[in-house]
Amino acid sequence: GAVVSQHPSRVICKSGTSVKIECRSLDFQATTMFWYRQFPKQSLMLMATSNEGSKATYEQGVEKDKFLINHASLTLSTLTVTSAHPEDSSFYICSASAGAGGRMSNQPQHFGDGTRLSIL
């Protein structure tokens, strides 16, 4: 159980293109979804946290107009990298959790397989 599907797994596109990445929880309701960015040989950097039906909370230094996050249902969140440039090239990983604080706050995050984004 607790499968998270992330699509696409790899994207190569030209500078200026907008790219949408989908994150789906397949067998559970994800109250909270998280979006991370990982640079080569480094740890994960949390970009934003989204709760179903509300606006995402972005971490300091992350441009919310650049990285648009939508969490319209309990099983789907999307990250759109708008007008992508080479410096946006990275490995993006989503995770989903059934917890949103309170008594559910010990629910683990379940991760997708990541999306490798390459902007030419």
Partner 1 sequence: GDSVTQMEGPVTLSEEAFLTINCTYTATGYPSLFWYVQYPGEGLQLLLKATKADDKGSNKGFEATYRKETTSFHLEKGSVQVSDSAVYFCALSGKAAGNKLTFGGGTRVLVKP
Site of interaction with partner 1 (CB under 8 A): 4, 6, 32, 34, 41-44, 46, 49, 93, 95, 97, 99-102, 104-114, 116
User: How far, in Å, are 98, 99, 105, 108 from residue 102 at the CA level?
Assistant: 12, 8, 5, 14
- Strands 10-13 vs 115-119: parallel, antiparallel or unpaired: parallel
* Minimum separation from the CB atom of position 64 to partner 1 (A): 17
**C-beta closer to partner 1: residue 52 or 82:** 52
**C-beta closer to partner 1: residue 62 or 82:** 62
* Minimum separation from the CB atom of position 4 to partner 1 (A): 8
The closest of 11, 6, 1 to 95, measured between CA atoms, is: 6
**C-beta closer to partner 1: residue 82 or 99:** 99
Kind and range of the H or E element at 94? strand 90-97
What is the number of H-type helices and E-type strands within the chain?
0, 11
**C-beta closer to partner 1: residue 13 or 98:** 98
* Minimum separation from the CB atom of position 86 to partner 1 (A): 21
